[in-house]
A and B are shown apart, each in its own frame.
Chain A
Amino acid sequence: MERTIPEFYAGDYDVAVIGAGHAGCEAALASARLGMNTICFMVSTDTIAMMPCNPNIGGTSKGHLVRELDALGGEMGKNIDKTFIQSKMLNESKGPAVHSLRAQADKQKYSNAMRKVMENQDRLTLKQAEVSELLWEELEPDQKENEGNKLTDNASMVPGKKRITGVKTVSGGIYKCRSAVLASGVYLNARCIFGEVSQPTGPNGLPRATHLSDSLQAIGLELYRFKTGTPARIDKRSIDFSQMEPQGGDEKLVPFSFTNTPESIEREQQNCWLAYTNEETHRIIRENIHRSPLFSGDIKGTGPRYCPSIEDKVVKFPDRERHQIFIEPEGDYTNEMYLSGMSSSLPEEVQLQMYRTIKGMEHATVVRNAYAIEYDCINPMQLYPTLECKFIKGFFSAGQANGSSGYEEAAAQGIVAGINAALTLKGEEPLIIDRSEGYIGVLIDDLVTKETHEPYRMMTSRAEYRLLLRQDNADLRLTEMGHRVGLIDEERYEAFCLKKQQIADELKRLNGIMFGAGGAIQEFLTMHNSAELRTGTTMAELVRRPELSYDMLAPMDPERPMLPKDVTEQVEIEIKYEGYIERQRIQVEHFKKLENRRIPEALDFSAIPSLRLEAVQKLTKVRPENVGQASRISGVSPADISVLLVYLENYYKKNASVTNEV
């Protein structure tokens, strides 16, 4: 029996953030820090920045995202630096572009530390309540904008058609706001499944959001149904670690945040443990596979390929005799251990049987079951690269609600959505990071341009300018932007400018030091198994030699200034990989040309003569911001792009008042 709940006025805000997970926290903090009166809603204040799945932050390409986030003025990097219990630089034997930082987090400490930051942030109000509805109004089509152009058939795709006016909670509270950021994670109509059991809850048995999906659909948003999963948590006391290989952290620590030094984050670290599945594990899985909802057809949602359940792996790679699993502590406060690599949706008793086949886990006690979770998210192609919805002014969306996966991916979108919610209200130019400027740019561009049919995870192979987008130079790439939008204070900005200057000066100095083919240098080179000089060369050329390094050459460089390690690191990378880096810079120049050709918002693609039907459909659906984005839509060919370029040129000449360049 449904009762009508009376509505009441609950306040006026600039920005409402729905959710306080990793996306919601960054969005709320960015918005409040940029001067917006902000309210952030959450299921429970105890679950702020909760980590319901793996107990780590960073990892390959995700570590890049966190460092970029930090350079922009985000919180995740600082928060993990406060709360990690192990830290490791992955891929250290590979090139600098793929070095990736990963830290094991103390989950509770992480959540608490973020809660403290949130609670003490000026202009930010926290509210434990379920948002059930978006409030909005119709906007008259902007006459001027559409002059001379036919409107597209799908009226809801016309930019500026609707506008957010507030949000409503299940208890009837009306919170007026000018912008809203959806950061609902996996809570929308969530369902947790293992074996024959299906529970209508969010992760960890937390209440799900049952009403908001309907409201999103009512406003015209297209929803997807995605799926993900998490492994079991095992009681530490029931594991025999002597049967497993310990995996320690690095001795030399690298902080996530550019505001921290290695010394400032020193602490004792905990081990993770390496174990393996075996034939017996696989046999149990095979025999019970029909009871897995993934295979029985009970789960309809699309799961991620990069983080398959153990039953997926066994079925898909039948020849593999074993799969690695990592057993990771969830924190100092608990005995629960996370079984990385063994997420599952098999029935509870099968899970127990399966986990107990692993060497060292014969007597394992399962504290929490593995489960799969299904949830609603929006089709992110409905968003601009600013993360604002194309047809709802003031509606932004970030994180798993956009079909991504991972804490870092969520946080990265969160800060961009929060910044842009604030900037657009202030009437300032929004922040768009492009593919040549950061992984954040690649992530968002992929989400809003390419159709995803599974939760999207960042990978270094998705970044075409990977050599330029290193984790070590995230500050050099993005601090400027963070400063422009207002999240980086003057003190930090000045330190950044000094670093930049020092790098430039030192590069210049090294290129200016000449050696003739004689004297002490020859002796030095012979001593270091490096070819003697035949003609004159520069110090930079010597640094470039694979067998030499900047530090090794110190004795040959008496004038060398004392420089911080992060400066000399940049100098050395720039010199050593100059050829490759230069090639990518040239590619970026080409890339920028198409990126700078804007496509008018209301352009009717079907009115472009000779554009192929498929291209018209795809372009109309995506409504790319510029020709570069258009060129990345699958189904749009180079010939279509040529046609589009010619048409746009014509269009801009007719509408000479509109500027061609961004």
Chain B
Amino acid sequence: MSGYVMENDTIAAISTGLTAAGISVIRVSGPDAFCVAEKIFRVKNQGKLQKLSIAGVDSHTVHYGYIVGEDETILDEVMMLVLKAPRTFTREDTIEIDCHGGIVVTRRILRRVLEAGARPAEPGEFTKRAFLNGRIDLSQAEAVIDVINSKNELALKNSVKQLNGRVQTEIVEIREKLLRQVARIEAALDDPEHMNLDGYSDELLSENAGHLSKIKALLATADRGRLLKEGIRTVIVGKPNAGKSSLMNALLRYERAIVTDIAGTTRDTLVEEVNLDGITLQLVDTAGIRETKDTVEQIGVDRAKQELLQADLILFVTDASVKLSTEDRDILAEILATKENSGAKVLAILNKCDLEMVTTEEHLQNAVRNGMRNHSDAREVLREGDSDRVSDIEVLSVSVKEVAGIEKIEEKIKSIFFAGELRNDDEVIITAERHRSLLSQAEESLRKVQDSVEMGMPEDFYTIDLMAAYVSLGQILGEELDEDLVDCIFREFCMGK
């Protein structure tokens, strides 16, 4: 219903494929494009940041300045191109922001653009507008259709793929509850002599509060959008001399990597941020922790555990040239316990495979399987015959000293988190951004429900925003509204006559 593209609003997207370095272009098109620009773009004039009045500049001019946040803090230094209708690709007012490449910055600017009033463009939407506004030649019509189609398919794939199972389950659950609430209200409105809503507002308020906190949590926690924005928190563990530091250094020195140092959350831990072909890894080396033996041993173990718990990805490094030790097994047990709790992904790296291999992939797999069996929670899992849980710890034999080894690791990380399809980085980002914006729309709608209840509005007003939240969440799942409300009313409630 509301999944259909509005024709006359303002859309934004990253219009260049993202690469780790270079320039990214964010394009904004529609009647409010200039209004967005005035909200977020500042030029420096005598040392002070000032708004740029778009009315006062010519079309097709480039402006140097800054993108600022709502609080006027500088987000990035950019070049902004002002293109006034109709001499633009879409024949609408358009701005293009050339910013420093890199996912984090580009994404931050895109988000700012969306906050300022644009919405994420549908796949192929710029091209579609260009066509509908008569900008593209007729002979290109079919090509346009193909673009829309293929991009939609890809976006849909990405859209669902980017949701992890837990997020998806929660959204589905919240939606079901919302629908049931709406159905209950509607049934009572439809058949007031059989059903009443006395005391219902309180029930709704408390359930609504639950939804709100869940959505808030969803917004804040691990969806892949966050992984892209903040990077994949990667913790490297292993016994001394297994090759943790070599791996870390190899990753840091990798020729395509951009390295920035940012202070870690723990005083003693240095978090290194590495951008590998579009994926940001926050590398946490636990070496320093684990190796401070003697008196502070316990502290070190605790800290390592804590780091493990916060990890999105655990790289477990072992030495292929020696036998698996008790220490290896202890660490593995800890990893398995963590994985069970946090759902982190684990990649076991059998390092030094350029030497004679004393420990093989099979050995390591067996150790993992035994570790699962020894771990009480995991035993439950195994009894249910769910052997997938074991095999999703992948083992990789490499030599981190060789470039090929590092590439192998990088490929594996990509396939773990993005099912190998990161060619369309811009789509991934925009989809993640769309999810986020739909989640905040749902949040906003549920807040309005709360307002309506608190203001003492009649019950039929609640359904407006409950339904809006339902639709927003449905768009994340790629579902449409159709008849499900009416079906739910009849399924759940005994209607009169």
What residues of chain A have their CB less than 8 Å away from a CB belonging to chain B? 54, 60-61, 90-91, 93-95, 97-98, 305-308, 313, 316-317, 320, 323-324, 326, 340-341, 343, 450, 459-462, 464, 466-467, 546, 577, 580, 583, 587, 590, 593-594, 609-610, 631-632, 634, 637-639, 641-643, 645-647, 649-650, 653-654
Contact = CB atoms under 8 A, between A and B. Distances in A.
B148 A97 contact: no
A638 B495 contact: no
Given A460-B189, A461-B485, A646 B460 contact: no
Contacts of B496: 307, 324, 340-341
B490 A94 contact: no
The 5 closest A-B pairs by CB, nearest first: A95-B458, A461-B186, A307-B497, A639-B152, A305-B490
A642 B186 CA distance: 32
B152 A54 contact: no
25 contacts: A60-B191, A61-B190, A91-B192, A93-B458, A94-B189, A94-B192, A98-B189, A305-B495, A306-B495, A316-B494, A324-B193, A340-B496, A341-B496, A459-B186, A461-B182, A461-B190, A583-B464, A593-B7, A594-B7, A639-B149, A642-B5, A642-B128, A646-B128, A646-B141, A654-B138
Given A91-B192, A98-B460, A638-B5, A646 B148 contact: yes
B185 to A, nearest CB: 9
B146 interface: yes
B479 to A, nearest CB: 11
Nearest to B481: A464
Interface string B1-25: 1111111100000000000000000
A511 to B, nearest CB: 21
Interface string B436-468: 000000000000000000011111110110000
A61 B189 CA distance: 10
Contact of B193 (A61, A323, A326, A647): A326
B395 interface: no
B132 interface: yes
Contact of A307 (B459, B482, B495): B495
B4 A638 contact: yes
Interface string B186-202: 10011111100000000
B142 interface: yes
Given A98-B189, A643-B148, A650-B138, A580 B495 contact: no
B443 to A, nearest CB: 17
Given A91-B189, A650-B138, 15 more contacts: A90-B193, A91-B460, A94-B189, A95-B458, A317-B494, A341-B497, A343-B497, A450-B483, A546-B455, A609-B146, A639-B148, A643-B148, A646-B131, A646-B144, A647-B141
Contacts of B463: 461
Given A95-B458, A307-B495, A647-B145, A60 B486 contact: no
Contacts of A634: 482-483
Interface in B21-38: none
Contacts of B474: none
Contacts of A646: 128, 131-132, 141, 144-145, 148
Contacts of A323: 494
Contacts, number: 137
B489 interface: yes
A94 B141 contact: no
A609 B142 contact: yes
Given A461-B186, A639-B148, A642-B122, A590 B494 contact: no
Contact of B124 (A317, A343, A577, A642): A642
A590 B6 contact: yes
Contact of B138 (A305, A340, A462, A653): A653
A95 B462 CA distance: 10
B495 A649 contact: no
Contacts of B457: 95, 546
A637 B156 CA distance: 12
Nearest to A466: B460
Interface in B155-195: 182, 186, 189-194
A610 B145 contact: yes
Given A95-B457, A461-B486, A464-B1, A308 B495 contact: yes
A306 B460 contact: no
Contacts of A643: 145, 148-149
B186 A460 contact: yes
A25 to B, nearest CB: 23
Contacts of B7: 590, 593-594
B32 to A, nearest CB: 14
B174 to A, nearest CB: 20
Contact of B189 (A60, A316, A326, A450): A60
A393 B71 CA distance: 65
Interface string B119-147: 00010100010011000001001101110
A586 to B, nearest CB: 10
Nearest to A324: B194
Nearest to B7: A593
Nearest to A92: B192
Contact of A580 (B1, B144, B464): B464
A579 B279 CA distance: 44
A94 B459 contact: yes
Nearest to B8: A593
Nearest to A460: B189
A53 to B, nearest CB: 9
Contacts of A61: 190
A54 B496 CA distance: 12
Nearest to B191: A60
Contacts of B458: 93-95, 98
Contacts of A653: 138
A643 B480 CA distance: 18
Contacts of B192: 60, 90-91, 94
Instruction: Indicate the member of A98, A326, A593 with the most B CB atoms within 10 Å.
Output: A98
Contact of B149 (A305, A306, A308, A610): A610
Contacts of A307: 495-497
A91 B460 CA distance: 10
A113 B183 CA distance: 39
A460 B190 contact: yes
A221 to B, nearest CB: 25
Instruction: Indicate the member of B2, B131, B485, B496 with the most A CB atoms within 10 Å.
Output: B496
A97 B461 CA distance: 9
A650 B482 CA distance: 29
Contacts of B149: 610, 639, 643
Contacts of A305: 490, 495
Interface in B72-112: none
Contacts of B489: 459, 461
Contact of A467 (B191, B464, B485): B464
A98 B192 CA distance: 10
B56 to A, nearest CB: 30
B464 to A, nearest CB: 6
B132 to A, nearest CB: 6
Contact of B146 (A54, A610, A631): A610
Contact of B132 (A466, A577, A645): A645
Contacts of A459: 186, 190, 486, 489
Contacts of A593: 6-8
Nearest to A644: B145
Instruction: Indicate the member of B2, B131, B191, B460 with the most A CB atoms within 10 Å.
Output: B460
Contacts of B142: 609-610
Contacts of B464: 467, 580, 583
A641 B456 contact: no
A95 B4 contact: no
B432 to A, nearest CB: 20
Contact of B497 (A54, A97, A632, A638): A54
A373 to B, nearest CB: 15
Contacts of A450: 483
A615 B279 CA distance: 38
Contacts of B131: 646, 649
Instruction: Indicate the member of A91, A326, A343, A631 with the most B CB atoms within 10 Å.
Output: A91
